[in-house]
Amino acid sequence: METTIGEFLRTRRERITPEQAGLPPTLTRRRVPGLRREEVALLAGVSPDYYQRLEQGRTAQVSDQVLDAVAQALSLSDVESEHLRNLARPHRPDPRASTPPRPSRAVPDEPLVRLLEAMGDAPALLLDARLDIMAANAAAEAVFEVSGMPQPRNAARQLFLYPEARARYANWEAMAAETVAQLRLLTGRRPDDAKLAALVGELAIRSEPFQRLWATGDVREKRLGVVRIVHPLVGTLEFDYHMLTVPARPDRSLITYLPQPGSPTAEALRMLLSWVADRPSSPAATA
């Protein structure tokens, strides 16, 4: 599925009313939701023709000042502003982007896998930049049953293409929206990643919920949140998750799942891990 700067800007201006942007109300009937192109141009201090060229993808000469002005006019978050710059300059790294450049020599995954295993009773996953599940420790295997997932093991593919995943997540809608918003951000950061583009295209073709959520244009950095898992043995488990980028390997992320101390989930997890103590962790893929 193609992601264009015009598509993104349209979804952002459609969510803002003239009143929210500080413009006086108009007496004429509006044909579009949110702001018109000429209204965004007015707020950003550029000509309507210049802004229209921007939505058409003619961004070769666009300056940082113009992009910042458009971002301010549309009340974009920091992550949305980064995504706008990525779409405007798909082949030039943005020095303000939060993701560091990929190292010239990839760091092996083996030390990261050992780190997962050292986390003991805390479920943890290792993901790549396309949300492929590279490894899981024994606690994550017990909670998510990673080794039983259909291949290829990809967090987004599991969430949208397998009915059992929807039944397993008690807060599936929230997790789905977060995942789509994260994928959109990743496509802006990795415009030449053919496998990532193929994943987004596959999900768009095979999943109506993915299509619906992708059409919102939302962009989000998935860092922390709450996930509720309906486990077949111990019932509902609620974890705070934290997604950490590995400084030495920016195309890898560690996700840890932590229950509140003393909570029913903490006790249920302790029981679950005692039952499956001898189960091996899932195999890891290395670069």
> Quick one: 250 and 127 in the same domain?
yes
Residue 250 within a domain: yes
Helix (H) or strand (E) holding 246: strand 235-246
Measured distance CA(287)–CA(274) in Å, rounded: 33
185 vs 4, higher pLDDT: 185
Write the CATH number for 231: 3.30.450.180
> Quick one: 81 and 119 in the same domain?
no
Residue 18 CB neighbours (<10 A): 16
The mean pLDDT of the chain is: 86
Residue 99 within a domain: no
Q: What is the pLDDT of residue 28?
A: 55
Q: Would you state the structure tokens that stand for residue 285, as one six-digit string?
A: 């893929």
Number of domains in the chain: 2
> Quick one: 263 and 121 in the same domain?
yes
> Quick one: 167 and 70 in the same domain?
no
> Quick one: 40 and 121 in the same domain?
no
Write the CATH number for 58: 1.10.260.40
Domain, as residue range, for 76: 5-88
Q: What is the pLDDT of residue 226?
A: 94
pLDDT band at 60 (very low <50, low <70, confident <90, very high): confident
Q: Would you state the structure tokens that stand for residue 234, as one six-digit string?
A: 């111990």
pLDDT band at 245 (very low <50, low <70, confident <90, very high): confident
> Quick one: 167 and 236 in the same domain?
yes
> Quick one: 138 and 34 in the same domain?
no
